[in-house]
Amino acid sequence: MTSVALALISAGMIYMGWVAKTITPTLNYGIAAAVVVVAMLISLRLFINNTHDRIIFKSQYGRVKYIEVINKYPNKKSFRKFLGSFVNQVKNEKAKRNYSIAKFLARELQELRRLKNEEVITENQYQSGKKAIFKHKSYQVS
C-alpha cells in the first residue's frame, strides 16, 4: 500500500512539475521528486522481500483448515519441492492405513468434533464440515 501511495505522489509531482508545468521545477523540487521515487522503489523492494507463499491444507470433505504452510522467502522452486514431498508423504501414510472412504469420513468427523471441542474451529465451521461429510455419497454409519 505504501508503494502505491508513493508511486501516486511521485507521478503527481512529475506531472505537475514537468508535464503540466503548474509548478516551476526547481532543484529542490527535483530532489524531492527523486527522494519520493527512491522511497517508492525501496518500499516496493521491501514488499517483494516480505511476501510469502501460503498454502492451506483443508480437510478433504469438511473443508476445514488443518494446516497452513507459509514460505516467508519467495524461493518458489524449493517451496514447491517441499510441498510436493509433503503431499506425497501424506498420500503414502493414507495408503498405508488402507482406509475405506466410510472409515475416512468417520475419522474426519471425529477430527472435526475434536477441533470444535478444543475451540480451534467455530460451531459454524463444525456444522458446515459435518454437513459436507454427511452429504457424501459414500458415508455409511457403521
Write the pLDDT tens digit of every residue in 7-54: 788 788 878 877 777 777 788 888 888 888 888 888 888 877 776 677
Model confidence band, residue 139 (pLDDT cutoffs 50, 70, 90): low
Residue 83 maps to a domain: yes
Query: Do both 63 and 46 map to the same domain?
Result: no
Predicted confidence at residue 74, as pLDDT, reads 62
Query: Do both 78 and 32 map to the same domain?
Result: no
Predicted confidence at residue 61, as pLDDT, reads 64
Q: HSE (CB half, 13 Å, CA atoms) of 37? A: 10
Query: Do both 77 and 64 map to the same domain?
Result: yes
Query: Do both 60 and 125 map to the same domain?
Result: yes
Q: What are the b/e assignments for 109-124, b being 16+ CB within 10 Å?
A: beebeebbeeeebeee
Q: Are 113 and 129 in contact (CB under 8 A)?
A: no
pTM here?
Answer: 0.41
Bridge partners of 69, per DSSP, are 55
Nearest Cα to Cα of residue 141 among 102, 113, 93, 99: 102
Residue 142 maps to a domain: no
Predicted confidence at residue 52, as pLDDT, reads 66
Query: Do both 63 and 115 map to the same domain?
Result: yes
Nearest Cα to Cα of residue 64 among 100, 107, 111: 111
Q: How many domains does the chain have?
A: 2
Query: Do both 122 and 78 map to the same domain?
Result: yes
Domain coverage including residue 126: 53-135
Question: pLDDT digits over 105-134, tens only?
Answer: 888 888 889 888 988 888 988 898 888 888
Query: Do both 60 and 18 map to the same domain?
Result: no
Q: Are 60 and 107 in contact (CB under 8 A)?
A: no
Residue type, 120: V
Query: Do both 80 and 107 map to the same domain?
Result: yes
Query: Do both 35 and 60 map to the same domain?
Result: no
Query: Do both 20 and 59 map to the same domain?
Result: no
Among the residue ranges 20-24, 70-74, 95-99, 111-115, the one predicted with the least confidence is 70-74
Helix 123-135 and helix 101-117: axis angle, to 10°?
A: 170
